[in-house]
Amino acid sequence: MVELIKEPFVIRALLCGLIISIVLSGLGVFLVLRRLSLIGDGLAHVSFGGVSLGILLGRFPIYVAMAISVLTSLGILKVKKIAHIHSDTAIGIVSSLGIASGVILSSLAGGFNIDIFSYLFGSILSVTDTDILISTIFATIFLSYLFLFYNDLLSTTFDEELAYAEGINVDRINAMLAILTGVTVVLGMKIVGLLLVTSLLILPAATSLQISRNFKATLFLSMAFGALSVILGILLSLVLDLPSGAMIVVVNFGVFLLTLLFPGGKPVSAN
């Protein structure tokens, strides 16, 4: 086990996983509270289309997926506002379209191959130094955004209409959140894969919401649970020789179950 941890690919996977999990689980708190939990799924499906397009073109599948994911994330926001439809409907529409275009494009690219599968289920073996660098830069952007706009984010997440009435630039805050989500979902696919990336957005946040007593604690605990699950999940996957993405989700769910045992964790209305 100790020998294994010294392997460069494991160190890269742990480092990249740690960085991405902090961003995903931090963003997850805002998305879960905004009833946008499934946006990760929608964007992941669209990113599948992007990856397939990249493979078909033979160029930068991750960056193609990232661009499409960000545009889709902003699109969901716009459609929700203009068409007055619920976010789950907008997510459902892009989700199915993403999968459909992914299947068509990957078929044109010569069918499902090992490349596509590594994006779908994650591949910690493929984490490169460049991935770590990009993740670090992106995590720095995310944490700066969180630090500088924390109160705007909190207020907008609590109630958009009220935040707007009080003079907060709700559109700007939402657009920034959409861009960050679009990029992070794609970065997360290296670690857990496109099909499981939503788990890192939802489970740490849902776990944290069970036991937190204020908003800051919810945010920090979510990030801590996300990081813990990724580290434990990767290590367990190496020991048990099982897929790392799936192990991360299992560990995440285990932590969630543990917090359910806390008595009185979830607030109960006094009504």
Partner 1 sequence: MREVVSVRNVDFRYNSDNVLSDISFEVSRGDYLGIVGPNGSGKTTLLKLILGYYKPTRGEIEVFGKKPENLKERDLIGYVPQITAGKIVSFPATAKEVVLMGLVSQKKFPKAIRREDEKKAEEILEMMNMVDLKERMVGELSGGERQKILLCRALIHDPELLILDEPVTALDPESRQEFYLLLERINREKEVTIMMVTHDTGEIGNYATKLLYLDRRVIFFGSLENFCQSEEMTRFFGEYSQHIICHRHDRRPWLS
Q: Is residue 263 a contact residue for partner 1 (CB under 8 A)? A: no
**HSE (side-chain half, CA atoms, 13 Å) at 27:** 35
Q: Which residues of 91-117 are buried (b: 16+ CB within 10 A; e: fewer)?
A: beebbeebbebbeebbeebeeeeebbe
Task: For the segment 30-59, give every residue that binds partner 1 (CB under 8 A).
Answer: 33
In angstroms, what is the minimal distance from the CB of 66 to partner 1?
A: 27
Measured between alpha carbons, how far is 119 from 45 in angstroms, rounded to an integer? 11
Q: Which is nearer to partner 1, 60 or 150 (CB)?
A: 150
Measured between alpha carbons, how far is 100 from 177 in angstroms, rounded to an integer? 26
Measured between alpha carbons, how far is 197 from 192 in angstroms, rounded to an integer? 6
Q: Is residue 239 a contact residue for partner 1 (CB under 8 A)? A: no
Q: Which stretch binds partner 1 (CB under 8 A): 43-51, 63-71, 96-104, 154-162?
A: 154-162
CA-wise closest residue to 267 among 209, 225, 207: 209
Q: Is residue 164 a contact residue for partner 1 (CB under 8 A)? A: yes
Q: Which of 93, 154, 175, 232 forms a contact with partner 1 (CB under 8 A)?
A: 154
Q: Which of 58, 111, 167, 263 forms a contact with partner 1 (CB under 8 A)?
A: 167
In angstroms, what is the minimal distance from the CB of 236 to partner 1?
A: 29
Q: Which of 9, 11, 60, 166 forms a contact with partner 1 (CB under 8 A)?
A: 166
Q: Is residue 270 a contact residue for partner 1 (CB under 8 A)? A: yes
Q: Which is nearer to partner 1, 222 or 244 (CB)?
A: 222
Q: Is residue 213 a contact residue for partner 1 (CB under 8 A)? A: yes
Measured between alpha carbons, how far is 129 from 166 in angstroms, rounded to an integer? 44
3-class secondary-structure state, position 97: helix
Helices H, strands E: what count in the chain? 12, 0
The binding site for partner 1 (CB under 8 A) comprises 33, 147-152, 154-155, 158-159, 161-168, 208-209, 212-215, 217-218, 267-271
